[in-house]
Amino acid sequence: MSCFENLGLHPHILEAIAETGYTQPTPIQQEAIPLALQGLDLRASAQTGTGKTAAFILPALHRLAATPPSKGVGPRILILVPTRELATQVAAQAKTYGKHLPHLKTLCMIGGVPYHAQKRLLQKPYDILIATPGRLIDYVERGTIKLSRVEMLILDEADRMLDMGFIEAVEHIADLTPENRQTLLFSATLSSHILKLSEHLMKEPREIFIEASQSHKNNIAQRLHYTDDLDHKNRLLDHILQASDVVSVIVFTSTKQHAGELVEQLHDAGHAVAALHGDMHQRQRSRTIDQLRKGFIRILVATDVAARGIDIPTISHVINFDLPRNIEDYVHRIGRTGRAGAKGVALSFAGHRESSLVQRIEKFTGQDIECVEIPGLEPKMRSSKKPAGSKRPFKQGHSSRRPESRGPRRYEERPRHSQQERRPKQEGSFFSQTESKRQDRPARPQQGKRPDGGAKKFSRVFNTTFSTPAPRKKREPVA
Ligand code: AMP
């Protein structure tokens, strides 16, 4: 059995890892850390919620602990992320794993925060800088941040960072860092298109592609409800939110305006709910995430700003009230549940005209989405299409592509068991060792704690081909 001690990390970092309660590195950590410690460039991909952050933070901290800094000012480690929430979480992990490194200083520079407060922090020495590209460029152009000392450049959620909304900024930033830097790219979704775009940023990169084992893939149950119209979606949502196993949920909408409207509606119906979208002040956004984490709100209605990075173990459900236009976002959205080996449920609402989008999502993920109906809330129209050119056989009860004659699986009202009864027990996995630790985390007071479900060991596949590139669309940065 592999353990953190065998990875070659600095003793002060091992001490901090031990304090988190994690004893066994996850597969992405096992593979990425030794290569990163050798100073190699990496492009790494693994399922959401499987410990990617530590896979790049730990070798970055090791570098800081093991090698003296060069002369000059500015960060030695630069981590670029697409959203402010993710930046805050990555900074928190850097602080956790680096707590025994003397004088380690981590800074987080994100948009939406007053400049004067950030400028004060930038006047003192710091080692790690975690930033969203826009705010970083602001500071670089004002001469407040110098990037000439960067030893390691890390792109978290790399596919998003190299998407058209960000790529120019990222390339500009990379040009300002030394050529001999080490570059690491991490994401749950790395298409061959993204790999190509990243080529000029890297030197002979090693590729790591961790494929989730079947049991881990199944830790998020994916279901689909065909819907007739907005009113039908609202009635379904209302019904679903009444189930006692919905501990904490993120509902994704396609627009900020719709998120706001839905929040009002759910608030009027008596739910503890809040919105999260790009028009909100950063302080408000951070407070909302904190309230969700602490269980003060049960429902977060969000745009895709919440699709990546948010790591809150109590999120039991993700609901795609509107399907994402970008297929990769589906993977990131549903990855907000089923974190660290827990079980989660992802429900998607789709109009009848969206069946081809559903099929593209299934093709991208390689997983069928089970089509379900709730008695009394069935759609008036049934989606009976089998996709043109589909090669995979139709599986009864497991695919969204159900011929009308068989009909979707019907979900009867479930008895209201306690959480403990309904949740499957943890199986042996590297996550099981963290069980006692995670039970210490705050749970939703009204609903009680959510025990984690188990995940068997991941299987590993290396040098496999990456998924087909999705069409590249111009999108605005969501930070
Ligand atoms: P990430 O994919 O980095 O967002 O991590 C998902 C969750 O897994 C976070 O809550 C981490 O704290 C947790 N985690 C990271 N590494 C390990 C590990 N080796 N064992 C158990 N849990 C871990």
* Inside any domain, residue 378: no
- The kind and range of the H/E element at 192 are helix 192-198
Sheet of strand 273-276: strand arrangement: 273-276, 299-302, 249-252, 317-320, 344-351, 220-227, 370-373, 409-410
C-alpha–C-alpha distance, residues 47 and 190, integer Å: 11
Q: Report which residue type is found at 316.
A: S
What does the pLDDT average to over 290-298? 96
Q: Please tell me the predicted confidence (pLDDT) of residue 384.
A: 52
Residue 52 CB less than 6 A away from ligand 1:
yes
What is the Cα Rg of the chain in Å?
22
Question: Mean of the pLDDT values across residues 365-375?
Answer: 93
Residues in the chain: 479
* 8 A C-beta contact, residue 346 and residue 224: no
String of DSSP letters for 38-94: TT--EEEE--TTSSHHHHHHHHHHHHHHHSPPPSSSS-SEEEE-SSHHHHHHHHHHH
Query: Which of 133-142, 153-162, 427-436 shows the lowest mean pLDDT across its residues?
Result: 427-436
Residue 138 has pLDDT above 80, yes or no: yes
* Domain endpoint, select from 209, 234, 249: 209
**Residue 295, domain member (yes or no):** yes
For the chain, what is the domain count?
Answer: 2
Question: Do residue 167 and residue 95 come from a single domain?
Answer: yes
Give the closest residue (by CA) to ligand 1 atom 17: 51
Same domain flag for 227 and 194: no
Which ligand 1 atom is the nearest neighbour of the CA of 313?
10
Q: Which atom of ligand 1 is nearest to the CA of 311?
A: 4
Lowest mean pLDDT among 7-21, 340-354, 356-370, 431-445: 431-445
Question: Do 72 and 127 reside in the same domain of the chain?
Answer: yes
Question: How many angstroms separate the alpha carbon of residue 383 from the centre of ligand 1?
Answer: 39
Is 287 within the bounds of a domain?
A: yes
pLDDT single digits (tens) 229-277: 999 999 999 999 999 899 999 999 999 999 999 999 999 999 999 999 9
pLDDT tens-digit map of 375-391:
999 998 765 544 333 33
Confidence of residue 191 (pLDDT cuts 50, 70, 90): confident
Same domain, 195 and 252: no
Is 58 in contact with 16 (CB distance < 8 Å)? no
Nearest-angstrom CA–CA distance, 150 and 128: 9
Q: What is the pLDDT of residue 217?
A: 67
Residue 315 has pLDDT above 60, yes or no: yes
Most confident of 89-93, 396-400, 405-409: 89-93
Q: Is the pLDDT of residue 224 over 80?
A: yes
Residues 291 and 164 in one domain: no
pLDDT band at 163, cuts 50/70/90?
A: confident
**Structure token pair of residue 168:** 């120019």
Q: Which of 8-17, 30-39, 187-196 has the lowest mean pLDDT?
A: 187-196
The DSSP bridge pattern shows strands 77-80 and 128-131 to be: parallel
25 lines ligand 1 (CB under 6 A): yes
Is pLDDT of 303 > 50?
yes
Nearest-CA residue for atom 11 of ligand 1: 51
Report pLDDT for 165.
Answer: 81
- Is it the case that residue 157 has pLDDT exceeding 70? yes
pLDDT at 381: 77
Give the count of alpha carbons within 13 A of 96, CB side only.
15
The answer to whether 156 touches 83, Cβ cutoff 8 Å, is no
69 vs 401, higher pLDDT? 69
Predicted pLDDT of residue 70:
78
Same domain for 222 and 204, yes or no, is no
Cα 259 from chain centre: 20
Check if 311 has its Cβ closer than 6 Å to any atom of ligand 1.
yes
pLDDT at 477 over 90: no
Both tokens of 90, joined, read 């990555």
CB 57 within 8 A of CB 223: no
Q: Which two tokens stand for residue 87?
A: 């930046």
With respect to residue 316, please indicate whether it lies within any of the assigned structural domains. yes
Mean pLDDT (whole number) for 421-446? 34
Q: How many CA atoms lie within 13 A of 388 on its CB side?
A: 1
Average pLDDT over residues 145-152: 96
pLDDT for res 387: 34
Q: What is the pLDDT of residue 212?
A: 67
Tell me the pLDDT tens digit for each residue of 40-94. Answer: 999 999 988 899 999 999 999 999 999 988 788 899 999 999 999 899 999 999 9
pTM: 0.76
Query: Domain span at residue 8?
Result: 4-209
Q: Provide the b/e sequence for 363-392 (b: ≥16 CB within 10 Å).
A: bbbebbbbbbbeeeebbeebbebebeeeee
In this prediction, residue 355 has a pLDDT band, given cuts at 50, 70 and 90, of very high
Query: What is the distance between the alpha carbons of residues 75 and 109, in angstroms, rounded to a whole number?
Result: 12
Q: How confident is the model at residue 117 (pLDDT cuts 50, 70, 90)?
A: confident
Residue 475 has pLDDT above 60, yes or no: no
Residue 42 sits in the same domain as residue 152 = yes
Answer whether 27 contacts ligand 1 (Cβ < 6 A): no
Task: Taking residues 276-280, report their average pLDDT.
Answer: 92
Would you say 304 and 398 are in contact if contact means Cβ atoms under 8 Å apart? no
225 and 159 in a common domain: no
Kindly report the CATH number assigned to the domain that includes residue 107.
Answer: 3.40.50.300
Question: What is the Cα–Cα distance from 428 to 452, expressed in whole angstroms?
Answer: 12
**DSSP bridge pairs for 96:** none
Written as six digits, the tokens of 477 are 């940065």
pLDDT of residue 410: 59
Tell which phi-psi region holds residue 74, choosing left (phi > 0), alpha (psi between -120 and 50) or beta. left
Task: Indicate whether 450 belongs to any domain.
Answer: no
What's the distance, Cα to Cα, between the start and end of the chain in Å? 40
20 within domain boundaries: yes
Among candidate residues 180, 209, 238, the one where a domain is terminated: 209
Kindly state whether residue 95 falls inside one of the protein's structural domains.
yes
Say whether both 88 and 186 belong to one domain. yes
Instruction: Quickly state the pLDDT bin for 395 (edges 50, 70, 90).
Output: very low
The predicted pLDDT at position 247 comes to 94
The answer to the question of residue 387 being in a domain is: no
CB 54 within 8 A of CB 9: no
- Residues 205 and 231 grouped into a single domain: no
Residue 116: helix, strand or coil by DSSP? helix
314 lines ligand 1 (CB under 6 A): no
Residue 434 beta carbon below 6 angstroms from any ligand 1 atom: yes
Our CA angle for 34, 37, 41, nearest 5°, is 95
Of 193, 182, 189, 179, residue with least CA distance to 210 = 189
User: Domain boundary at 187, 209, 231, which?
Assistant: 209
Q: Is the same domain home to 36 and 136? A: yes
The pLDDT assigned to 72 comes to: 82
Same domain, 273 and 136: no
pLDDT in tens, 194-214: 889 999 999 999 999 998 665
CB crowding 332-350: b at 16 or more within 10 Å, else e: bbbbbbbbbbbbbbbbbbb
- Is residue 455 over pLDDT 90? no
**Lowest mean pLDDT across 315-329, 351-365, 411-425:** 411-425
* CA distance linking residue 110 with residue 479, whole number of Å: 8
